[in-house]
Amino acid sequence: MKLMVTAGPTREPVDPVRFVSNRSSGKMGYAVAAAAQLRGHDVLLVSGPVAIKAPGGVELIMVETADQMQRAVMAGFNKVDALVMAAAVADWRPAVVHVQKQKKSSTSLTLPLEPVPDILAQLAGIKGSRLVVGFAAETENLLSEAQRKLSAKRLDMIVANDVTAPDAGFEVDTNRVVLVWPDGSSRELPCMPKTDVAEYIIDWLEENLPASAT
């Protein structure tokens, strides 16, 4: 199979020295890319800025902003059989990007934010027979929020993680996820290394891809 994986955060610039971002380390997405590559699949990894090394043998595209990630995903999408979107893409970005560094002052600063177009939602209408897997990073109502995103983005599976758990979500080496499907079924996995969560995701893709893509 040809698989595209996204990983890491995006950085949305405020001015030439500052940005709005999040705590994604890239570990979850890189584990998915590595697991697929080790099983002999062709992997295209689209990554935001992270401090970890990309797995050998994958095609790597580094991006910074959500816009750049969207362009890279759109450009690669028609060449792949499946997409796993583990990146923590910005939901909002500064509405104005200042050309010069904003001066420090003693008054408070208000930073107007505008919504960022959702990459997965844009793919819903053009996915065809491709399998599209999203992640849901939640702090409350894990299952219902995951089901809402699964249906709104017309995903084939969503991997829900409660990012308030100390051994799950951002930065840590382990995750605690629930796999959720469009027919309403779900499977809760115990806490395990992100590398093992990745194996479950690749198992599911291998079992569910059309025979022509395996």
Q: Which residues are catalytic?
A: 22
Among 77, 134, 201, 204, binds ligand PMT (CB under 6 A): 134
Place of tokens 């380390």: 25
Residue number with CB closer to ligand PMT (40 or 166): 166
Q: Can residue 5 be called a binding residue for ligand PMT (CB under 6 A)?
A: no
Do the Cβ atoms of 115 and 150 come closer than 8 Å?
A: no
Quick check: 88 binds ligand PMT (CB under 6 A)? yes
Alpha carbons 28 and 126: distance in angstroms, whole number: 26
User: Are 200 and 179 spatial neighbours (Cβ–Cβ below 8 Å)?
Assistant: yes
Residues 6+ apart with CB under 8 A from 201: 32, 35, 84, 133, 157, 159, 179
DSSP state of 74: H
- Does 86 interact with ligand PMT (rule: CB under 6 A)? yes
Residue 206 Cβ, how far from ligand PMT at the closest point, in Å? 20
Interatomic CA distance for residues 159 and 124, integer angstroms: 17
Q: Cα Rg for the chain, rounded, in angstroms? A: 17
Retrieve residue 75's tokens.
């450009």
Instruction: Check binding of 169 to ligand PMT (CB under 6 A).
Output: yes
Q: Which of 59, 64, 67, 118 touches ligand PMT by CB under 6 A?
A: 118
Q: Return the structure tokens found at 139.
A: 């702090």
Quick one: 117 or 210, whose CB is closer to ligand PMT? 117
Which of the ranges 37-45, 101-109, 112-120, 203-211 carries the binding residues for ligand PMT, by CB under 6 A?
112-120
Stretch that binds ligand PMT, among 19-27, 33-41, 93-101, 180-188 (CB under 6 A): 19-27
Cβ atoms of 58 and 45 within 8 Å: the answer is: yes
Alpha-carbon span 107 to 145, nearest angstrom: 38
Contact call for residue 93 and ligand PMT (CB under 6 A):
no
Neighbouring C-alpha atoms within 13 Å toward the C-beta of 153: 26
Does 94 help bind ligand PMT (rule: CB under 6 A)?
A: no
Select the residue interacting with ligand PMT from 3, 25, 178, 213 (CB under 6 A). Answer: 25
Stretch that binds ligand PMT, among 55-63, 106-114, 132-140, 206-214 (CB under 6 A): 132-140
CB of 146 to ligand PMT, least distance (A): 8
Contact residues for ligand PMT, defined by CB under 6 A: 24-28, 66, 85-89, 91, 116, 118-120, 134-137, 149, 161, 163, 169-171
